[in-house]
Amino acid sequence: MRSPLRFLLILALAWGGLALACSTPVFRYALENWTPDTYMLEVRLPNPVPADLRAALDDLRDHPQANVIARELPAGDQEPGLTLRFPHVPPTVPPVVVLPATAAALASVLDSPARNALAQQLLAGDTAVFVFLESDNAEHDREVKERLERTLRDLEKNLELPPQDPTDTVVGDTGTAPDLTIRFSVVSVKRDDPKEHVLVEALLSSEPDLHELKGPMVFPVFGRGRALYAIVDKGINAEILYEAGVFMTGACSCQVKAQNPGVDLPLTANWDSLFQDVSYQEVELPPLTAVSVAEPTAVPAPDAPLNETPETVPPPDSPPPPPAVPVVFPLTLLALVAFVGSLILMVRQGRRR
């Protein structure tokens, strides 16, 4: 990506951050507030249904920590199977993955060693976990991964958190949330690992053309398992990684999650454990007292004729009329969103060079 474009992108994000930002960095606000989107698992069962598969489906329905819900469909002329679909997409969109209708396949939809590791590291306070998706070239992967880890160590030293306002975070010093620090980690995943098949397909299906690219990839994952975007092969460099780091550690605009980049991954984690030990201080309010309001008094004008109605003076505590809301700010904000969206499309091209 060219330098002028990068400058304009950072300038636009900074302008929007100054207009709407709170002091909580994006990664922490996402961890505290962004509920993961829910995947739909279409289930076509064999006849008869194996007991272990039925038990696994019952467990899924009672599993509040998984962002996957199951929907049983009649098999009809189709083969029994499990079809996992992205959140908020019509059924015409290709599924994430299609698996056999077995208890083992259902378990692989909900969790895997890599997803468990990244969830635990996010809950422990990591700013982001970079999922390193390996290629079939081990030597090249080693060089790229070393460059990735070296750059992340530099970012930990050079990135800065916004000045903190304690009232902006949900969890205070008495809670279990980790301290706000910048710390990155890496989790490596092989593309042909059967235990990580669902994770690999979710990552490669998060953007249209990733299945066609064979080089190593990195996906920054933050918040409650949200993959920011794919960074591919030569794009895994200091420039692109810095831009990802600036976004995740910058001041959050406190907008709804859908207005931010990224795709939630299917995984199981007890995100609410972050708040289990939060204590709240009870504050005793003063007793209510009756308030009397005097009736408006009529004050005649000094030289007013006797047949004219005197003016009515409002009570002294009457609130002033609300200020007019300017229309310019919403229009400017909409223009900024459109501008940033177009820049993001151009940035993605830069990450794929």
241 phi-psi bin (left φ>0, alpha ψ -120 to 50, beta other) = alpha
**Tokens representing residue 112 in the block:** 């895997």
> What angle, 0 to 180 degrees and rounded to 10, lies between the N-to-C axes of helices 103-110 and 51-61?
20
68: Cβ–Cβ under 8 A, 6 or more apart, which residues? 38, 39, 40, 41, 60, 84, 109, 110, 266
pTM for the full predicted model: 0.73
Residues 86, 16: Cα–Cα separation, whole Å: 29
- What are the pLDDT digits (tens) for 86-138? 999 998 999 999 999 999 999 999 999 999 999 999 999 999 999 999 999 99
- What are the pLDDT digits (tens) for 153-196? 999 999 999 887 666 555 544 444 457 899 999 999 999 999 99
Residues 55, 73: Cα–Cα separation, whole Å: 17
303: Cβ–Cβ under 8 A, 6 or more apart, which residues? none
Three-class DSSP category at 311: strand
DSSP 8-state code for residue 25: B
**Tokens representing residue 243 in the block:** 């831009």
Residues 234, 239: Cα–Cα separation, whole Å: 11
| pLDDT top residue among 268 and 22 | 268
- What are the pLDDT digits (tens) for 49-58? 999 999 999 9
User: Would you kindly state where each structural domain of the chain is located, as residue ranges?
Assistant: 3-35+112-275, 39-110
Of the chain, the percentage scoring pLDDT greater than 90 comes to: 56
